[in-house]
Amino acid sequence: MLVEHLTLDGVMQGPAAADEDTRGGFVRGGWGVAGNDEVMGSVLGKGLGREGAMLFGRWTYEQFYGFWPHQTGNPYTGALNRARKYVVSRTRRELPWENSVLMSDVGDVARIEEDLTVLGSGELARELMRRGLVDEWLLMVHPLVLGTGKRLFEGVEVDLRLVDSVVTTTGVVIATYRGREEA
């Protein structure tokens, strides 16, 4: 399952904080915070609470590791610490977060025999989609157009089928899709 926050124009860069991802001169970070509510928390809690492992690109792994293991009093920290975390990286040699497994090639993902949840990880997500390795998309589409920033579907073609949707109290549409060829 690929879990992403997006704007209406498909931007996925930096939803959580102003300084989360300033690559390419992006200055609109933190745009997703206003969309958080109990509905979104419930949907995300169900998704993160399901069986399986996490899959990250190197950059997103480093961002998550720099924040989540040190948080207390929320339901996500324990789940993220306990989860097996696969990390695709050509540059890292070791991974400090407990239960982390290093993979040097995105092609190795096809050999993992457990359900995976991908959070963020734009470059990795696009490569997984190109290779047909995503079977479900949980997209939180925020009612906002930025006009600039990294986009999830940049250079990727997929044919999706809507299987569920929820609208939050803040106007975020949480849509679950599967590929047309999926049953």
**Nearby residues of 67 by Cβ (< 8 Å), 6 or more positions away:** none
| Radius of gyration of the chain, Cα coordinates, nearest whole angstrom | 16
Per residue in 1-10, pLDDT tens? 999 999 999 9
Per residue in 101-153, pLDDT tens? 999 999 999 999 999 999 989 999 999 999 999 999 999 999 999 999 999 99
Q: Residue ranges of the alpha helices (H) in 3-147?
A: 38-49, 58-67, 75-82, 122-130
- 44 pLDDT band, cuts 50/70/90, is confident
